[in-house]
Amino acid sequence: MNAWTVIVSGLSLLVGIMLGALLWACWLRRRKSGDKLRLPDRWPLRSRLIVNGNEQEVWRSLRSIFHEHAVMVKIPILRFTRLHETQNLNSKHSVKIRADARLKSEQWLEMLDGLHTTFTVCTMDGKVVGCVDVPGKLELTKASRELKEALLLDCGIAYTVVNAFNLPDASTMRELFLGEMPVHPVEHQVTLGGDSEFHADLTAFTKQQANPAG
């Protein structure tokens, strides 16, 4: 009987030690988490301009060209796009199909998170008509440009890449973003940098807009 008492006492002591160690570990983890979330007395930050020199020049031109619109700076693309409602499968589909669709949608959104363009031109009621990228010190990658072109085209939103030394004239930009006929024939229009490739891209885009089904 005494032997069983000793065994039970030993086991109780062992369980108590293990429980105490677990509680200690939880307390330390919670304390460390609290340290990570502690706010600094003085933030190691300072204000800066939202646009650099080249972007400032393009921004000024866009505000002049689209004077009746708002020209927003560095707005995330997900701020003015969303998944088609047809992606929301109804109850007649299997649980696995619905789960796979939700997972795919989450992966798309995760991929697009943080994606933005330098400038977003929109009407005063918030409808986006076009987006402009201005390459910085790090050139815009081909993959990033093609992704934005495809994504925005599917949404019916114009997209182009320009810089302060190669900015299309007002008629060309308004034709691309608003569908307005240019004041002068296209063959007589020139950009500040004499870039004819832009007009080829513009022609291809407008043809796609005019024939969305084909």
Q: Tens of pLDDT along 166-176?
A: 888 999 999 99
Sorted by sequence, the CB contacts under 8 Å of residue 120 that are 6+ apart come out as 71, 72, 73, 75, 80, 128, 130, 131, 132
At residue 187 the predicted structure's pLDDT band, cuts being 50, 70 and 90, is very low
Q: In terms of pLDDT, which residue wins out, 36 or 136?
A: 136
Give the span between the Cα atoms of 178 and 159, in whole angstroms.
12
Residue 194 clears pLDDT 50, i.e. is over it: no
Write down the pLDDT at residue 190.
Answer: 42
Q: In terms of pLDDT, which residue wins out, 113 or 73?
A: 73
Residue 159 clears pLDDT 90, i.e. is over it: yes
End-to-end alpha carbon distance in the chain:
91
Q: Specify the amino acid at residue 126.
A: G
**The model's pTM:** 0.63
Mean pLDDT of 183-200: 48
Give the span between the Cα atoms of 100 and 109, in whole angstroms.
14
SS3 116: strand
191, 185 Cβ separation under 8 angstroms? no
Residue 64 clears pLDDT 80, i.e. is over it: yes
131-154 in b/e form (b: 16+ CB < 10 A) is bbbbeeeeeeeeeebeebbebbee
148, 205 Cβ separation under 8 angstroms? no
Residue 73 clears pLDDT 80, i.e. is over it: yes
Write down the pLDDT at residue 22.
Answer: 78
Q: Tens of pLDDT along 9-61?
A: 666 767 667 777 777 777 777 766 555 667 888 989 999 999 998 999 999 99
Domain range summary for the chain, segments of one domain joined by +: 1-46, 53-75+116-210
Concatenating the DSSP letter of every residue in 177-206 gives: HH-PPPSS-GGG---TT--SHHHHHHHHHH
